Amino acid sequence: MDHVASPSRCCLSLFFLVVAITLLVRSWHPPSKTASSFLDCSQYSLWCTSKNLIQAKSNLHDKPLLIKQPQVVLPDYSSKTHQHPLDPLTIQEINQVLAILSSFPPFLSSFPSINSVSLDEPEKSQVLNWTIGHPLPPRKAFVIAYLEGQSHILSLDLASNKVTSHEIKSNSGYPILSKEDMTVAAQVPFSNPGFNRAVTDRGVALSDTVCVALAPGWYGREEEGRRIVKVQCFSSQGTSNYYMRPIEGLTITVDIDKKQVVRISNTGREIPIPHATNTDYKYDSFNNSPKEGLLNMRPINLISMVQPKGPSFSVEDGHVVKWANWEFHLRPDPRAGMIISRAMVRDIESGAMRSVMYKGMASELFVPYMDPSVGWYFKTYIDAGEYGMGLSAFSLVPLNDCPRNAYYMDGVFAAADGRPFVRSNMICVFERYAGEIGWRHYDVNNKVRESRPKVTLVTRMAASVGNYDYIIDWEFQMDGLIRIKVGLTGMLMVKGTPLQNMNQVLPHENTSGTLVSENVIGVLHDHFVTFYLDMDVDGPVNSFVKVNLVKEETSPGESPRKSYLRTKRHVARSEREAQIKLKLYDPSEFHVVNPEKKSRVGNPSGYKVVPGATAASLLDINDPPQVRGAFTNNQIWVTPYNRSEEWAGGLLVYQGKGDDTLAVWSERDRAIEKRDIVVWYTLGFHHIPCQEDFPIMPTVSASFELKPVNFFERNPILRVPPCQE
């Protein structure tokens, strides 16, 4: 290639790198004198760890550092003021919420437990009309509290210090189980002699016993009229991975409000506790044992994504992410985990920012296990509504969960007593270069050879919901594509068994999963993650178009061909027409278009939902868990925008009956053509465990995409420069 000289933008133009310290400020500063002095190699010995750098800088700036390590002192949240209508509540605001609730008459006699405190978003129109620099819409808080069997749904106006709405719900599901609830539930059994005997009878010391609080689902039985938790226990003796050592068949039903044991089910006394051998995953647990995995593997040299000038993105006012042609608002949320709002991409012709999506988030999960036995039938988790994806998302591990140069965002949530706490490093944002190709071509006729590397931006969180870890990535590409990826790792939920070897299984016997180790069955289960995608393609007024591929037959003599394909566009008029089950042999594309916005050559501006590999729920549609998880009955749904319909499993999911799910809303069959619409996409996994998943699972991932379709007049990355030495 004979390219004209141009500064390389995508890679290293020199073979040596220097430290780059970039501070998080409203916009990028030019490298400070101090930073640039790091070019002086003689200082490396003094300045070679980020720890030093942070210490060196932290006294100069009160903003969090871009290269952030756990050692970094947290920013002073109390002084944080919100700059955007969608900024999450601050510590100050959560304290204000607590103050308002404390003087709220219904709560004067006895104060409820606070299950979630989050931003009560302004009306969409207010947010859309707001521009930077202008006054923010009134700040409001949305609170779910629980008191004496009743769920309280409140909205608070922080300007007037008033509760502006208060609704009480009974017996239609309960709020998210709080950390405090879980702690209590896990402790209650130990005050029960029968439980203690059951444990010690299995040869497990009470001091080694770890119990976990499990959502019971709803089966119209003992779950009726009271809030219960199913408690199951494990032996932690000899391992930090107690999940691999279940006390099988021991299930304690706890009334969490009365803090009483309702029932102890103790079957499976004959089932041994699996051994601790080879179950640990802590790196420092391997010191005294041979490191097979290392001894037999060729060592891997250092490899890192390096950015000598630092990342190209900025996070302005703490939440507005700007990168390449993208801009969006990013915030942590106790229930969804991570919320992307107002995603806009720059038009290559006009330079204007164009709306793609108003709001996107993981709305709900459904994880049914496939064992109908007494200790297992209820394991059909609806994680976001029962545990909270954000509340279950903990600090990411720098350099392991996220690469160097990642920016870390903290979550600010409320505890059960209503007091705020900070979940540090809960979300990371980083630029990604994986050696992928944005576009390329070699032309044999004129010998033109052009290629462009692909650089993307990723926002990531990881929720550890009990045994499982869910890694959720939103990846933004310069060509306008958004990839939403879910990774599954962590521990299998395993079942104890007398089986030591599959040769002990009778020919027609069928276990509920795979024997992954002696006495350990990895139980078959599914994972479904349903995403809420409030698409606003060039504005809120959109339509959903099913572009169906159909086979056409030629008429005799018309062509040497017998058949070919054509596209048939069907604009969905109402919700039922947009209940989609994917079919390999009746394929379609799924476009969200703006019927009013046509391209230069007359195609409607659109984005398409591109399904990836996925799985469908095969459970009986009337099975209680499937009724609660009915939002997985289709892979795609489209509903008219309704601010009260954000959680696919309903607002109050814990012990919910499934009477307030996406499936119920959609059956109203409301009009969705030329309206503000919300697309729901469900990513599914069937998980047949294998021994490789023991004792901790290598990450399994699946994804789907939101992809521009006639949104741009042409390839938006055509003019991105190549990488040159």
Of 26, 449, 570, 668, which lies in the binding site for a copy of itself, with binding defined by CB under 8 A?
Answer: 449
Q: Residue with structure tokens 């000289």? A: 5
Interface of this chain with a copy of itself, residues 52 to 71, rule: CB under 8 A: 53, 69
**46 counts as binding a copy of itself under rule CB under 8 A:** no
Question: Counting Cβ atoms within 10 Å, is residue 138 exposed (0-12), middle (13-18) or buried (19+)?
Answer: middle
Going along 353-502, which residue ranges are E strands?
A: 353-368, 380-381, 407-414, 420-442, 449-465, 468-477, 482-490, 494-496
Interface of this chain with a copy of itself, residues 168 to 197, rule: CB under 8 A: none
CA distances from 132 to 86, 316, 352, 571 (A): 12, 11, 16, 36
For the record, the structure tokens of 18 come out as 């220097």
Residues 235-274 as x/- pattern, contact with a copy of itself by CB under 8 A:
-x---x-x--------------------------------
Of 310, 318, 418, 629, which lies in the binding site for a copy of itself, with binding defined by CB under 8 A?
Answer: 310
Q: Which helix (H) or strand (E) holds 629?
A: none
**132 counts as binding a copy of itself under rule CB under 8 A:** no
Is residue 468 annotated as a catalytic residue, yes or no? Answer: yes
Q: Residue with structure tokens 């290293």? A: 12
Phi, psi of 250 (to 5 degrees): -100, 110
**Spatial separation of the C-alpha atoms in residues 375 and 367, rounded to whole Å:** 16
Of 108, 284, 288, 507, which lies in the binding site for a copy of itself, with binding defined by CB under 8 A?
Answer: 284
Please state the closest distance from residue 420 (CB atom) to a copy of itself, in A.
19
Task: Pick the closer one to a copy of itself by CB: 555 or 644.
Answer: 555
Please state the closest distance from residue 541 (CB atom) to a copy of itself, in A.
20
Task: Pick the closer one to a copy of itself by CB: 49 or 102.
Answer: 49
Of 77, 130, 190, 394, which lies in the binding site for a copy of itself, with binding defined by CB under 8 A?
Answer: 394
How many binding residues for a copy of itself (CB under 8 A)? 223
Of 56, 159, 206, 613, which lies in the binding site for a copy of itself, with binding defined by CB under 8 A?
Answer: 613
Phi, psi of 13 (to 5 degrees): -95, -15
Task: Pick the closer one to a copy of itself by CB: 249 or 466.
Answer: 466
Q: Which helix (H) or strand (E) holds 57?
A: helix 50-58
Interface of this chain with a copy of itself, residues 680 to 699, rule: CB under 8 A: 686, 688, 690-699
Contact predicate 524/518, CB 8 Å: no
Interface of this chain with a copy of itself, residues 528 to 557, rule: CB under 8 A: 547, 549-551, 553-554
Please state the closest distance from residue 334 (CB atom) to a copy of itself, in A.
15
Contact predicate 64/408, CB 8 Å: yes
Helix (H, G, I), strand (E, B) or coil at 33: helix
Of 268, 418, 480, 496, which lies in the binding site for a copy of itself, with binding defined by CB under 8 A?
Answer: 480
From the CB of residue 603, how many other CB atoms can be counted at a distance below 10 Å?
14
Amino acid code (one letter) for 290:
P
Binding span for a copy of itself by CB under 8 A among 44-52, 84-92, 260-268, 357-365: 44-52
Of 48, 56, 73, 206, which lies in the binding site for a copy of itself, with binding defined by CB under 8 A?
Answer: 48
Of 496, 624, 649, 650, which lies in the binding site for a copy of itself, with binding defined by CB under 8 A?
Answer: 624
Of 385, 466, 629, 658, which lies in the binding site for a copy of itself, with binding defined by CB under 8 A?
Answer: 466
Of 30, 133, 135, 435, which lies in the binding site for a copy of itself, with binding defined by CB under 8 A?
Answer: 435
Question: Counting Cβ atoms within 10 Å, is residue 494 exposed (0-12), middle (13-18) or buried (19+)?
Answer: buried
Q: Residue with structure tokens 């289709």? A: 634
Please state the closest distance from residue 588 (CB atom) to a copy of itself, in A.
9
120, 383, 401, 410: the active-site residue = 383
Q: Is it true that the peptide bond before 7 is cis, omega within 30 degrees of 0?
A: no
Binding span for a copy of itself by CB under 8 A among 122-130, 133-141, 641-649, 704-712: 704-712
Binding span for a copy of itself by CB under 8 A among 117-125, 148-156, 412-420, 440-448: 440-448
Which residues is 359 bridged to in the sheet? 341, 534
Interface of this chain with a copy of itself, residues 313 to 352, rule: CB under 8 A: 313, 322-325, 346-349, 351
- Relative to beta strand 513-517, strand 494-496 is unpaired
Task: Pick the closer one to a copy of itself by CB: 340 or 697.
Answer: 697
From the CB of residue 427, how many other CB atoms can be counted at a distance below 10 Å?
25
CB contact set of 22 (below 8 Å; sequence gap of 6+): 28, 29, 31, 35, 66, 67, 310, 311
Please state the closest distance from residue 651 (CB atom) to a copy of itself, in A.
24
Interface of this chain with a copy of itself, residues 641 to 660, rule: CB under 8 A: none
How does DSSP assign 228-264, residue by residue?
EEEEEEEE-TT-S-GGGSEEEEEEEEEETTTTEEEEE
Task: Pick the closer one to a copy of itself by CB: 419 or 551.
Answer: 551
Please state the closest distance from residue 399 (CB atom) to a copy of itself, in A.
4
Helix (H, G, I), strand (E, B) or coil at 61: coil
From the CB of residue 678, how many other CB atoms can be counted at a distance below 10 Å?
26
For the record, the structure tokens of 542 come out as 């959109």
Of 623, 664, 669, 675, which lies in the binding site for a copy of itself, with binding defined by CB under 8 A?
Answer: 623
Please state the closest distance from residue 105 (CB atom) to a copy of itself, in A.
36
Residues 72-111 as x/- pattern, contact with a copy of itself by CB under 8 A:
----------------------------------------
**29 counts as binding a copy of itself under rule CB under 8 A:** no
Question: Counting Cβ atoms within 10 Å, is residue 73 exposed (0-12), middle (13-18) or buried (19+)?
Answer: exposed
Closest-CA residue to 478 (of 722, 708, 314, 709): 708
369, 387, 468, 470: the active-site residue = 468
**Spatial separation of the C-alpha atoms in residues 28 and 321, rounded to whole Å:** 12
Which residues is 255 bridged to in the sheet? 228, 260
Give the sign of the dihedral formed by CA 155, CA 675, CA 320, CA 422. Answer: positive
**16 counts as binding a copy of itself under rule CB under 8 A:** yes
**134 counts as binding a copy of itself under rule CB under 8 A:** no
Of 626, 632, 634, 655, which lies in the binding site for a copy of itself, with binding defined by CB under 8 A?
Answer: 626
> CA angle at residue 490 from 484 to 495, to 5 degrees?
125
Please state the closest distance from residue 454 (CB atom) to a copy of itself, in A.
7
CA-only gyration radius of the chain, Å = 27
**Spatial separation of the C-alpha atoms in residues 275 and 246, rounded to whole Å:** 10
**508 counts as binding a copy of itself under rule CB under 8 A:** no
Please state the closest distance from residue 152 (CB atom) to a copy of itself, in A.
26
Task: Pick the closer one to a copy of itself by CB: 623 or 676.
Answer: 623
Task: Pick the closer one to a copy of itself by CB: 363 or 710.
Answer: 710
Contact predicate 256/229, CB 8 Å: yes
**33 counts as binding a copy of itself under rule CB under 8 A:** no
Phi, psi of 461 (to 5 degrees): -140, 160
Contact predicate 276/239, CB 8 Å: yes
**433 counts as binding a copy of itself under rule CB under 8 A:** yes
Contact predicate 233/209, CB 8 Å: yes
Of 124, 166, 169, 432, which lies in the binding site for a copy of itself, with binding defined by CB under 8 A?
Answer: 432
Helix (H, G, I), strand (E, B) or coil at 187: helix
Please state the closest distance from residue 319 (CB atom) to a copy of itself, in A.
17
Please state the closest distance from residue 503 (CB atom) to a copy of itself, in A.
5
Please state the closest distance from residue 703 (CB atom) to a copy of itself, in A.
9
Binding span for a copy of itself by CB under 8 A among 7-15, 145-153, 170-178, 670-678: 7-15
Task: Pick the closer one to a copy of itself by CB: 135 or 435.
Answer: 435
Please state the closest distance from residue 419 (CB atom) to a copy of itself, in A.
19
Please give the positions annotated as active site: 383, 468
